[in-house]
C-alpha cells in the first residue's frame, strides 16, 4: 500500500505529514516511523504527523518523534498541520485541533498561524542541577511536553549536544526526560534559543513549545514584556504573546517543502 505524504517545516523543525483520516497508517511499528524520519535513507524529518478525525475537535493531530515514539504536543508541528489542512482545502479561518488530550484553537493571521496554547501545566523555578564539572540552574516548564529552560550569556558558545544530552537524562527529570532550551537575551523582549530535543536526541533548528516555555521563563526571571520575539537556530522568528494570567499564544509560519508517496512495506520514497 502506498501512502501520499507532504513535508513541511516550522522554522526549520521539519515533519512528514500524512492525511490519515481513514486510519490506514499503522502506528504499531515504531521502527517504520523512525526509518521514514532518517535523514540519509528515509524521507528525513524531526517527526511524523498524522491528521485524523476527532469527535471532540475539528481534527486530531497525532505526532511521533524521529525515534518512533508518540508524544503529546508539538507547537511547530501544529502550525505545519494547519498549513497542511489549508493545502487540502479542509481548513477554516479558525480550527480546533486535539493533541495529547488537549484542545488547541488555531487560526490564520495572513500567512502565519496563531496557536492558543493555554497556560503551562506545571512549573518549577530555579531547579539546581549538578552536572559533570559544573552546577547550573534550570526552570522546568511543562507545556504540552516537558522543558528545561537554561539562561546563558551566549547560546553560540554552548555545546548543545553534549550539555543538552546530560540535562535531558538528568535524574531529576526522569522517567520522562526533558527537552532542553538554552536561551540568551539579545535585547528587551528578544531572545535567541537553541534546543536539544528529546526523541530526536539531537539539536534541532527550532521548537515551538520550547519557545513558549522560554518566553514564560523570561517574563518571570528576566522581566521581559510580551510580546517576546524568539530567534531560532534557523535564524527565523517566532512570536510569543502572554496575557496577564500567563495564557500563551504562539504566532509563526510553516513552509511546504515537497510531497511524494512511499510504500509502507518497502519504505521506498518517491518524490514528485
Name the residues annotated as catalytic.
Answer: 74, 207
Q: Considering only CA atoms, which of 15, 75, 71 is closest in space to residue 215?
A: 75
- Do residues 85 and 17 lie in contact, with contact meaning Cβ atoms separated by under 8 Å? no
C-alpha 54/C-alpha 59 separation (Å) is 5
**H/E segment holding residue 113:** strand 112-118
Cα 234–chain centre separation: 14
C-alpha cell at 23: 486510519
Q: Considering only CA atoms, which of 22, 35, 39 is closest in space to residue 263?
A: 35
Q: How many helices (H) and strands (E) does the chain have?
A: 4, 19
Q: At what angle do helices 75-88 and 208-221 cross, to 10 degrees?
A: 140
C-alpha cell at 148: 528545561
Q: What share of the chain is helix, strand, coil (3-state, %, to 5)?
A: 20, 45, 35
C-alpha cell at 153: 550569556
- Do residues 45 and 175 lie in contact, with contact meaning Cβ atoms separated by under 8 Å? no
Give CA separation, 140 vs 22, 168, 270, in Å: 38, 11, 42
Instruction: To the nearest 10°, report the CA torsion of 221, 224, 229, 233.
Output: -30
Amino acid at each position: 500500500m502506498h501512502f501520499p505524504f507532504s513535508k513541511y517545516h516550522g522554522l526549520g523543525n521539519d515533519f512528514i505529514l500524512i492525511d490519515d483520516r481513514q486510519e490506514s497508517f499503522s502506528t504499531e511499528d515504531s521502527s517504520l516511523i523512525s526509518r521514514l524520519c532518517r535523514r540519509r535513507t528515509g524521507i528525513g524529518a524531526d517527526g511524523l504527523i498524522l491528521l485524523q478525525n476527532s469527535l471532540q475537535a475539528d481534527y486530531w493531530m497525532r505526532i511521533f518523534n524521529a525515534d518512533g515514539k508518540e508524544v503529546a504536543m508539538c507547537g511547530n508541528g501544529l502550525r505545519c498541520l494547519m498549513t497542511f489542512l489549508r493545502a487540502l482545502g479542509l481548513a477554516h479561518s479558525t480550527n480546533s485541533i486535539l493533541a495529547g488530550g488537549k484542545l488547541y484553537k488555531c487560526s490564520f493571521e495572513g500567512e502565519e498561524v496563531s496557536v492558543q496554547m493555554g497556560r503551562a501545566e506545571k512549573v518549577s523555578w530555579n531547579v539546581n542541577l549538578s552536572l559533570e564539572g559544573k552546577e547550573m540552574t534550570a526552570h522546568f516548564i511543562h507545556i504540552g511536553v516537558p522543558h528545561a529552560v537554561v539562561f546563558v550569556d551566549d547560546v553560540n558558545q554552548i555545546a548543545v549536544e553534549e550539555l543538552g544530552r546530560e540535562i535531558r537524562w538528568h535524574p531529576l527529570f526522569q522517567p520522562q526526560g526533558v527537552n532542553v532550551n538554552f536561551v540568551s537575551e539579545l535585547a528587551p523582549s528578544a531572545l535567541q534559543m537553541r534546543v536539544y530535543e528529546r526523541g530526536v536526541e539531537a539539536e534541532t533548528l527550532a521548537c515551538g513549545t520550547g519557545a513558549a516555555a522560554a518566553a514564560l521563563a523570561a517574563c518571570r526571571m528576566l522581566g521581559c514584556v510580551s510580546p517576546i520575539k524568539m530567534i531560532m537556530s534557523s535564524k527565523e522568528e517566532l512570536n510569543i504573546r502572554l496575557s496577564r494570567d500567563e495564557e500563551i499564544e504562539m504566532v509563526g509560519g510553516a513552509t511546504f517543502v515537497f510531497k511524494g508517496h512511499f510504500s509502507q512495506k518497502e519504505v521506498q520514497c518517491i518524490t514528485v
